Amino acid sequence: MLPAHVCVILLSATVPNTIEFADWLGRTHQRKVYVVTTYKRPVPLQHYLYTGKGGSSRDNRFKILDADKWLMSAYLKAKESVADKETSNVYQKMTPAQDKTLWTGLVSHLKKHDLLPVVAFTFSRQKCDNNGANLTNLDLTTQKEKSHISLFFNKCIRYLKEPDRNIPQIVTMRDILTRGIGVHHSGILPIIKEIVEMLFQKGLIKLLFATETFAMGVNMPARTVIFDSIRKHDGKELRDLEPAEYIQMAGRAGRRGLDKEGTVIILCKLGMIPHEDNLKKMMLGKPSSLVSQFRLTYGMVLSLLRVESLSVEGMMLRSFREADHQKGMGDIKKELETVNQQLEEISRQQISSYLQPLVKFYESASSYLQARQDIMNTVFASPKVQKVLTPGRILVVTHKGHINKLALLLSQARSKQLQYKVLVLNDPSTCTDKTPNEDLFYYMLGLAQEKVFQPLGTPGHEILTVTPVDIFEISAKTLKTNPDLIIQDVEKRQMERFKDNPPGQTCVAVVQELHKLTMLANSNSNSLNKLDYWHLIIDLKVNEQGLYHNLKKLYGLKDKLIDHLPSTQIPNFEQQFSNVFERKFLEERKKNLEFKLSNASLSLYPDYENRIELLRQLCYVDNQNQVQLKGRFACEIGMNELLITELVVRNILTKLSAPEVAALLSALIYRVKSRNEPLDFDSLPADLRRGIKELTDVHQEIFRKELSLAIQTDEFQEDLNFGLVHVVYEWANNKPFAEIMQLTDVQEGIIVRCIQQLNETICDIRDAARVIIGNPELQIKMEEASTAIKRDIVFAASLYTYADGL
| Packing angle of the helix pair 143-156, 190-201 (nearest 10 deg) | 140
Q: Which architecture characterizes domain 60-88+100-230+253-284 according to CATH? A: 3-Layer(aba) Sandwich (3.40)
Mean pLDDT of 242-257: 90
3-state secondary structure of 77: helix
Number of H helices, E strands in the chain: 30, 15
Is the peptide bond between 468 and the residue preceding it cis, with omega within 30 degrees of 0?
Answer: no
Task: Identify the pLDDT of residue 804.
Answer: 57
User: For 80-100, what is the mean pLDDT?
Assistant: 71
Window from 303-317, 535-549, 611-625 with minimum mean pLDDT? 535-549
Neighbour-count burial for 732-755, b at 16+ CB within 10 Å, e otherwise: beeeebbebbebbebbbbbbbbbb
The string of pLDDT tens digits covering residues 747-793 is 999 999 999 999 999 999 999 999 999 999 999 999 999 999 999 99
Average pLDDT, the chain: 89
pLDDT average, residue stretch 487-513 = 89
Please enumerate in sequence order all residues whose Cβ is within 8 A of that of 506, keeping only pairs 6 or more positions apart, or say none: 481, 482, 485, 486, 489
CA distance 169 to 179: 16
Q: How far apart are CA 668 and CA 320, in angstroms?
A: 30
Residue 413 and residue 420 in contact, taking contact as beta carbons nearer than 8 Å: yes
Over residues 18-64, the pLDDT tens digits come to 999 999 999 888 889 999 998 888 899 999 999 988 778 888 999 99
Average pLDDT over residues 250-275: 91
Helices (H), 709-794: 725-732, 737-740, 748-771, 776-789
Confidence of residue 96 (pLDDT cuts 50, 70, 90): confident
- List of residues 6+ apart from 19 with CB closer than 8 A: 35
307 C-beta neighbours (distance < 10 Å), count? 9
Q: Cα dihedral angle (154, 159, 164, 166), rounded to 10 degrees?
A: 20
Q: Is the pLDDT of residue 685 over 70?
A: yes
Per DSSP, the residues of 639-650 read SSHHHHHHHHHT
Domain boundaries, the chain: 60-88+100-230+253-284, 357-587, 636-795
Strand-strand pairing, 460-466 and 419-426 = antiparallel
Chain-centroid distance, C-alpha 545: 23
Mean per-residue pLDDT, 391-399 = 94
60-88+100-230+253-284 and 636-795 have identical folds = no
Buried b (16+ CB within 10 A) or exposed e, 410-421: bbeeeeeebebb
CA distance 339 to 740: 71
Question: Using CA atoms, how far apart are residues 509 and 571, in angstroms rounded to an integer?
Answer: 36
> How many C-alpha atoms does 724 have within 13 Å on its Cβ side?
25
CA–CA distance, 425 with 460 (Å, rounded to integer): 6
d(CA 509, CA 408): 12
Residue 440 near residue 585 (C-beta atoms within 8 A): yes
The CA dihedral of 444, 449, 450, 456, to the nearest 10 degrees, is -150
Neighbours of 476 (CB within 10 A): 13
Nearest Cα to Cα of residue 738 among 161, 347, 328:
161
- The CATH architecture to which 636-795 belongs is Orthogonal Bundle (1.10)
Q: How far is Cα 799 from Cα 156, in angstroms, rounded to an integer?
A: 7
Query: What is the maximum alpha-carbon separation in the chain?
Result: 105
pLDDT value at position 58?
86
Please check whether residue 753 is in contact with residue 744, taking contact to mean a CB–CB distance below 8 angstroms: no
- Where is average pLDDT lowest: 19-23, 410-414, 728-732? 410-414
Give the list of residues 6+ apart from residue 371 with CB closer than 8 angstroms, or none.
Answer: 550, 553, 554, 557
* Closest CA relative to residue 351, chosen from 577, 156, 671: 577
Handedness of CA 67, 70, 73, 75 (dihedral sign): positive
pLDDT (tens digit per residue) in 221-232: 899 999 999 999
- pLDDT, tens only, 304-338: 999 888 899 989 988 998 888 888 888 999 999 99
CATH 2.30.30.1160 matches 357-587: yes
Q: Does residue 561 carry a pLDDT above 90?
A: yes
Q: How far, in Å, CA of 500 to CA of 795, rounded?
A: 89
Q: How do 471-478 and 393-399 pair as beta strands?
A: antiparallel
